[in-house]
Amino acid sequence: MIAPAALPATAPPAPTADDQSRITLLYHLARLQLPAVPIAESAFRDHLIRTFKLWAVKPGVAGTWPAYLDALYVLDWVVAVGCLTGVETAWELLFSARTGRSDCLLVDALRARACRLYPRNEERQESSVAEFWSLLLVPESDHGTAVLARYDGQRPLAPWLIRVFQNWHLSKLRGGPGATSLPDDDIAQPMPTAERSDPHWHEAFCVAARDWLHALPDGERLILGLRWRYRLSQRDVASLLGIHEGTVSRQTDKLRDKALAGIGAKLVADGWTGDDLEGYVLTEMGGLLVDEPALSADELRKLLAARGKALPAE
């Protein structure tokens, strides 16, 4: 766990009368725009002072209340405080948070990162996301700080959580056995990639994979979405769609073979000469499928509705 930030030579300034007026306005703005997350005004002010102090000790910041309040993502901040104080609706908002794409939930974005960090290891992908959720409220050590308690409100919450998740796992992967430190979330570290995963090949893969995906029949795309996005077992997919489990198994294998053949052929045509093309395609595919609008919840809902079925609970 990271050592607590060093205290500055002088304590952060207290809010002035003008700052207090702005804080009052922010509180009532948050109440109007986010009534589902009720926070008492006294708690609002206490947490704002706490997070201001977190921010003010960071190098290179102005350290003043006007600068802090100007850049505050107040609604994201309220959701984080609501989670910390046990407001159930705040957790619901966090679980349903979007990450900048048309239909990419926070949990899906975390899964996509896990796919890149632990390629072809579904068990580790799932456990890494579940383990991170537990750290949002409970620190790794007695002297640590829970993830949400480290959020200062100066960046959108969902992308910040994705970065913390990524850096935490990178520190464990790079540190070897027993490394469990949670790195500074301000440090932007690149995702580990396959040997040939430079920008050119990543872009070429995305183009080829999306062409392949959009050419799939609706039935195959539905199975792919249920198996990957919702992590349903073959038995659960068969039960939901009213087909034999063996059919799901055969179609899943067929989809894998078609993806390797179709996408691989396009990469080779683009000049791929490296080894382990299959490994590269499977590694890159994990992240793309979770983050792909063609497999979004809305799209899968439409495909199921056409068959008189309903999506599993989110």
Residue positions counted in the chain? 314
Chain segment 42-95, per-residue pLDDT in tens: 999 999 999 999 998 888 777 899 999 998 999 999 999 999 999 999 999 998
Q: What is the C-alpha to C-alpha distance for residues 15 and 271, in angstroms, rounded to an integer? A: 61
Do residues 36 and 89 lie in contact, with contact meaning Cβ atoms separated by under 8 Å?
yes
- pLDDT-based confidence at residue 187 (cuts at 50, 70, 90): very low
Q: What percent of the chain has a predicted confidence (pLDDT) above 70?
A: 83
Q: What pTM was estimated for this model as a whole?
A: 0.60
- pLDDT for 72: 92
Q: What is the DSSP string of 55-90?
A: HHTSTT----HHHHHHT--HHHHHHHHHHHTT-HHH
Q: What is the C-alpha R_g of the chain?
A: 23
Where in the chain are the domains? Answer: 1-192, 199-305
Is the pLDDT at 9 greater than 60? The verdict is no
Q: Give the helix/strand (H/E) hosting 43.
A: helix 41-56
- pLDDT for 195: 42
Chain segment 245-279, per-residue pLDDT in tens: 888 888 888 888 888 888 888 888 888 766 667 77
CA 151 to chain centroid, in Å, comes to 15
Q: What is the C-alpha to C-alpha distance for residues 272 and 264, in angstroms, rounded to an integer? A: 9
Give the chain's mean pLDDT.
Answer: 80
- pLDDT for 183: 53
Is the pLDDT at 174 greater than 70? The verdict is no
Could you tell me the sign of the dihedral formed by the alpha carbons of 191, 192, 193, 199, in that order?
Answer: positive
Q: What is the C-alpha to C-alpha distance for residues 228 and 290, in angstroms, rounded to an integer? A: 7
